[in-house]
Structure 1
Amino acid sequence: MIDIPKSKTNSLSKYKFIDLFAGIGGFHYALSSFGATCVFSSEWDKYATETYKINFKIEPKGDITQINEIDIPNHDILCGGFPCQAFSISGKRKGFEDTRGTLFFDIARIANYHHPKVLFLENVKNLVKHDDGKTLATIVKTLENLNYSVFTKVFNASHFGLPQNRERIYIVAFNNSKINSKNFKFPTPTNERVCLEHILEEEPKNAKIILRDDIEIYKTYKIENSLFGELELLNKPIQIGKVNKGGQGERIYHSLGHAITLSAHGGGVGSKTGLYLINGKIRKLSPRECARVQGFPDDFILNDADGQSYKQFGNSVSINVLQNIILEIEKILKENE
């Protein structure tokens, strides 16, 4: 999480938002840190719902495809990290109809009914090239047909003060009938120098230590202070070894670099977090360390099951990136008040 200026902590207190595909509430945390109020959330994973409820005192509704838009409260901001799906008839320029059968359709139908001022969405970087770019083009065209001005940008969490290499596309759309967004621009990366060592627990009890005979630490790697004189040599993962053949989940990284992208389903001995040389031991990150590399504060309550926590943070959004984008959205909203 970022250090939000005191003048901004209640700057969105007049605004209501809904949290779709809510997961454990990354969007909720980011928007509420500016004073915005959540009036509805939806998530179909029961374990993520448990984590969301215990942290935000709101129980998300279930499958959004089964919820009528009429039953959703009025809101100013619609946010969500929707799954990326192929559009079976993408490219035929039918706009709204092109998205039927996908989860993006539910965003479109809700926006078509409620006309919120802002849509704030996140997805995997691959959405840019998905189906030769037709998927993203259909999304943008659909929102434009609903009278929104659409802005898209790929950001890496590594460039916003989080020690994790995580590239995602962010979509911000403003309702043209309510908002003049001609001055909107995405934030400039903050590029703080940060590394895994800054967020590690001293003695995590639930970070699996790897004891194997096939661990190889490269003899050629050098980790010296001089190596980190240049920013680009700091804010990225630094591979220093491998387990077995060095496939997915079998690469070892130094704690003076960044984590690899957290994953909900990654395999290998370092599944979901990757492997790291920390205090002379090869281990995975702990669930709390995963929370920290995603920007969640230490008072965020983790799921009781470590396996669920790993999955949830692998699926989550990066708080710092959201908050920096919200600062720019807030400027436009204030201009239009």
Structure 2
Amino acid sequence: MSSTFTFIDLFCGIGGFRLAMESIGGICVFSSDKSRRARETYFSNFHEVPAGNITKIEAEDIPPFDVLCGGFPCQPFSMAGKKRGFEDKRGQMFFEIARIVKHHKPKALFLENVAHLIRHDGGRTFRVITETLDGLGYDVHYKVLAASDYGVAQIRKRVYLVCFRKDLQAEFSFPEPTFEDVAVEDFLESIVDESYFLDPGLVTFYKPDIETRTLDTYRLGYVGTPGQGRRVYSVRAVSPTFVATSRGPCGGTEGYLINGRVRRLTPAEVKRIMGFPEDFTFPV
């Protein structure tokens, strides 16, 4: 594949896939996402409005492209969701990808989803996906990777599928981990609004000597009752995976002990940890 290539950005969200692909010479020729707020953020940063619901878009209306990128909806397969898989309409979005691939026959596909996709329904869901791609004429390479192994201060395990059209006889191997030494504390703001701090009376630490013992421990305690969105972590380690649907007092980022106080992360800190550039904007 040449250093300059075209790609489409399906289920584009706010544009993380696009940032990565453009950084290696890709030119985006089409994008799509159902979420109005995601499309507004995408427009704010890339100056184009993605098309809406992909189920309403004919494959022939999408311009030719070399690579299809798609982080198709993960909620139906996520440990944090109800795991209904293909029974959930969102889980059927993979077949929208297959529909577009069948029409356009791009050189390559780059897909991403939660790691649990591989094990969902005893592995049957993932087998349907890989067999469908094979039937469409693609060699499928897949692997579960943790972002924290590649210089990101967040664990975030995801399964990545890299597929090449069989006639290209392309060779591919996933990159080796870099194991860079990063932690949440490397991305913190120096001045934070008081609203991000939590009432210390609500915080329970696992050990009473929290102020004197080492803070390198990954999980330190919880807020109110244990559970997602209520956990307290050290900033000297990488963060757990951020969860968009968490509704606890710490939100989807969980809480962190910073200079003796527990607080949530700010949007700017989350952006940095997720690998977005400083000039990336969030209008909504």
Shared fold (TM-score, shorter chain, > 0.5): yes
CA deviation string 1:199-226 (max 9, x = no partner): 11111338611014231232356327xx
The offset of 1:168, in angstroms, is 0.6
* Residue equivalent to 1:12: 3
* Residue equivalent to 1:165: 155
Cα distance between partner residues in 2 of 1:138 and 1:207: 47
CA deviation string 1:264-317 (max 9, x = no partner): 11121111110001122210011111111111111111234xxxxxxxxxxxxx
Cα distance between partner residues in 2 of 1:211 and 1:120: 44
Read off the aligned partner of 2:224 and give its amino acid letter.
N
Give 2:248's match in structure 1, choosing from 246, 268, 282.
268
Cα distance between partner residues in 1 of 2:237 and 2:253: 14
The offset of 1:141, in angstroms, is 0.3
The answer to whether the aligner puts 1:223 opposite 2:214 as a matched pair is yes
Choose between structure 1 and 2: higher strand proportion.
2
* Runs of 4+ deviating beyond 4 Å: none
Cα distance between partner residues in 1 of 2:195 and 2:175: 34
Cα distance between partner residues in 2 of 1:122 and 1:59: 22
* Residue equivalent to 1:201: 189
* Residue equivalent to 2:49: 59
Read off the aligned partner of 2:3 and give its amino acid letter.
L
* Residue equivalent to 2:82: none
The answer to whether the aligner puts 1:156 opposite 2:155 as a matched pair is no
Give 1:301's match in structure 2, choosing from 275, 281, 284.
281
CA RMSD of aligned residues (A): 2.0
CA contact (8 A) 1:207 1:285 kept: no
Read off the aligned partner of 2:180 and give its amino acid letter.
E
* Residue equivalent to 1:87: 86
* Residue equivalent to 1:22: 12
* Residue equivalent to 2:81: none
CA contact (8 A) 1:39 1:75 kept: yes
Highest RCO, 1 vs 2 (Cα 8 Å, sep ≥ 6):
1
The offset of 1:150, in angstroms, is 0.1
Secondary structure, aligned partner of 2:242? coil
Give 2:62's match in structure 1, choosing from 72, 76, 79.
72
* Residue equivalent to 1:47: 37
Cα distance between partner residues in 2 of 1:121 and 1:71: 21
Read off the aligned partner of 2:86 and give its amino acid letter.
F
Give 1:115's match in structure 2, choosing from 105, 109, 116.
105
Read off the aligned partner of 2:199 and give its amino acid letter.
L
The offset of 1:247, in angstroms, is 1.8
Give 2:114's match in structure 1, choosing from 108, 112, 124.
124
The offset of 1:12, in angstroms, is 2.8
Which blocks of at least 5 consecutive residues in structure 2 are unaligned?
77-84
The offset of 1:64, in angstroms, is 0.2
Cα distance between partner residues in 1 of 2:27 and 2:129: 27
CA contact (8 A) 1:207 1:287 kept: no
Cα distance between partner residues in 2 of 1:25 and 1:207: 28
The answer to whether the aligner puts 1:213 opposite 2:201 as a matched pair is yes
How many residues of Structure 1 are paired with residues of Structure 2 in the alignment?
270
Cα distance between partner residues in 2 of 1:41 and 1:269: 34
CA contact (8 A) 2:73 2:91 kept: no
TM-score, reference length from structure 2: 0.90
Mark the CA change 1:21 to 1:210 in structure 2 (over 3 Å): closer, same or farther: same
Secondary structure, aligned partner of 1:39? strand
Mark the CA change 1:133 to 1:16 in structure 2 (over 3 Å): closer, same or farther: same
TM-score, reference length from structure 1: 0.76
The offset of 1:57, in angstroms, is 1.1
The offset of 1:24, in angstroms, is 0.4
The answer to whether the aligner puts 1:288 opposite 2:265 as a matched pair is no
Which blocks of at least 5 consecutive residues in structure 1 are unaligned?
1-10, 89-98, 228-236, 305-337
Secondary structure, aligned partner of 2:252? coil
CA contact (8 A) 2:44 2:283 kept: no
Q: Percent identity over the alignment?
A: 43
Mark the CA change 1:281 to 1:122 in structure 2 (over 3 Å): closer, same or farther: same
Give 2:172's match in structure 1, choosing from 184, 202, 208.
184
Secondary structure, aligned partner of 1:87? helix
CA contact (8 A) 2:200 2:262 kept: no
The offset of 1:120, in angstroms, is 0.1
Cα distance between partner residues in 2 of 1:160 and 1:172: 18
